Structure 1
Amino acid sequence: MAVSSDVLRPPRAVVRRTSGNWALQAALDRRGLGPVAGVDEAGRGACAGPLVIASCVLRPGDAAKFDGLTDSKLLTAAARDRMFDVVRARAVDFAVVVVPASEIDLIGVHVANIEGMRRAVARLTTHPGYVLVDGFRVPGLTAPSMPVVKGDQAAACVAAASVLAKVTRDRIMSGLHEELPAYGFHVHKGYSTAEHSSALLEHGPSAEHRWSYANVTSAAVAHGLRPPRRVVRSMAALGVVQNGEPPAIGVASSRRGGARIR
């Protein structure tokens, strides 16, 4: 007896454009794949300060309470702060992971990002049925997952995670400015702006800088400074530096697949 193809293949979930950035989450919820968690990070491209990763589960049908929710980078600082409070108050669950510069230097920024996303999902007390990740696949999550291109704009739960991660990190960087005012962390938040690059060259890197990044090690060499900790140079870190300049320092290969400053 032939088996109907409808038994083998369930109906496709319909994603309604009119649902905006809630459409994907709503489609997964309708197919019984919720709760849906979104995951995003802040600070991957910075050369100082931590990497912050957040996960967030929003309540289905709660879109009206999150008017204006989108990619945190597209919001003003005031709008981000307001949305940060809304997310914390109304989310079903959320978790925030802070990966310090020392850990990024030890394992590389991409590995730190992947491991941070795993931690952020694992720390949710509400176990997700599905996870949406901004941009790229993350193996080893505790639930089925899917990468979403521009997920912080396409999926509300990812946008909420983006807000949690960015506001948390911005506040950390403003706090670091109180300790290290010479670098202007409260303005550029550790990214390689002209102002930051100038301060880095003038003062040399601090312990809060990522010594695995070539622009930081170049500034250290200019000041005769040695890394304050073990540093593994990764290709991801090299890709972030300005102008693609090679590091002015010896590099040896490591078993982690990167390279080690010597």
Structure 2
Amino acid sequence: MICGVDEAGKGSVLGPMVVAGVAVRSAAVFDDLGVKDSKTLSPAERERLFPLIKKRCRTAVVILPSEEIDRIRREMTMNAIVARAHAQVIEKAHPKTAYVDACDVNPLRYAETVKSHLATPCEIVSEHHADDTYPIVSAASIIAKVTRDREIEKLKEKYGDIGSGYPSDPVTIAYLSAYIDEHRVPPPIARKSWKTVSALLGKKSQSSLAAFF
């Protein structure tokens, strides 16, 4: 059994990070699917491939909400959080070899970090851009991306249009800014340990102080 692992939402300021694993006996199951890195596919194509991958492969998912990420970041770096989540997915899949998209400038070091969280021995192949190189990691990226997109849609039903959740998204920043203006605190779905949030809070605080002079 081999497994591919990837994540979606690592850098998001709003909403969860999703780590997904896809396990198969042979990567040949992807030959006729045309799986690619999820970032290069349209939402419609990702949605089309999602059930096909689920039908042909064993899949495992770990969802880390924003508040849990904030809590764990008091103890470890974001790369370490991702590595531990990668390991959790690998443990669920029970593969002999796992291919992971390295979340560290040093892929070999990242592989050792993932191994340190495993209770069951497994060979870890850690590479940058593994989601481009290995179809099994591409498949995992699709499962992670679609799952996260669905989680974001659920949050939109409760909180309104929050955009994609990424700091580069003007809709996300506008939502975050307006929420802080109204409530004086970040929304529950924000990663409060993110610099984006602290910078906005600092800016709002300075504006409030300036109003007194």
TM-score range, shorter chain: 0.7 to 0.9
**What is the root-mean-square deviation of aligned Cα atoms in Å?**
1.6
Q: Secondary structure at the match of 1:123?
A: helix
* Structure 2 match to 1:256: none
Aligned residue identity for 1:64: D
Q: Secondary structure at the match of 1:48?
A: coil
Q: How many Å separate the matches in 2 of 1:65 and 1:149?
A: 25
Q: Secondary structure at the match of 2:10?
A: coil
Superposition TM-score, scaled by structure 2 size: 0.80
Query: Could you say which structure has the greater relative contact order, defined with CA pairs below 8 angstroms and 6 or more residues apart?
Result: 2
Match of 1:74 among 21, 40, 50: 40
Contact map agreement 1:56 1:157 (CA 8 A) in 2: yes
After superposition, residues 26-175 of structure 1 pair within 5 angstroms as 35-60=1-26, 61-66=28-33, 68-91=34-57, 93-108=58-73, 109-124=78-93, 127-135=94-102, 136=107, 137=110, 138-140=114-116, 141=118, 142=120, 143-175=122-154
TM superposition shift of 1:139: 3.0
TM superposition shift of 1:156: 1.1
What residue ranges of structure 2 are gaps of 5+ in the alignment? 181-185, 206-213
TM superposition shift of 1:148: 1.8
1:134-165 Cα offsets, whole Å, 9 max, x none, are 12422323311011221111101111110111
Q: How many Å separate the matches in 2 of 1:222 and 1:149?
A: 36
Match of 1:195 among 161, 171, 194: 171
1:39-89 Cα offsets, whole Å, 9 max, x none, are 1000011111111001111342223342x2010111000000011111101
What residue ranges of structure 1 are gaps of 5+ in the alignment? 1-34, 225-262
Contact map agreement 2:22 2:60 (CA 8 A) in 1: yes
For this pair of structures, how many residues does the alignment match?
Answer: 182
Q: How many Å separate the matches in 2 of 1:145 and 1:45?
A: 23
Superposition TM-score, scaled by structure 1 size: 0.65
* Structure 2 match to 1:209: 190
Structure whose CA Rg is larger:
1
Q: How many Å separate the matches in 1 of 2:97 and 2:156?
A: 38
Aligned residue identity for 1:160: A
TM superposition shift of 1:195: 2.1
Give the helix-richer structure, 1 or 2: 2
Q: Secondary structure at the match of 1:115?
A: helix
Runs of 4+ in structure 1 deviating by more than 4 angstroms, as ranges, are: 221-224
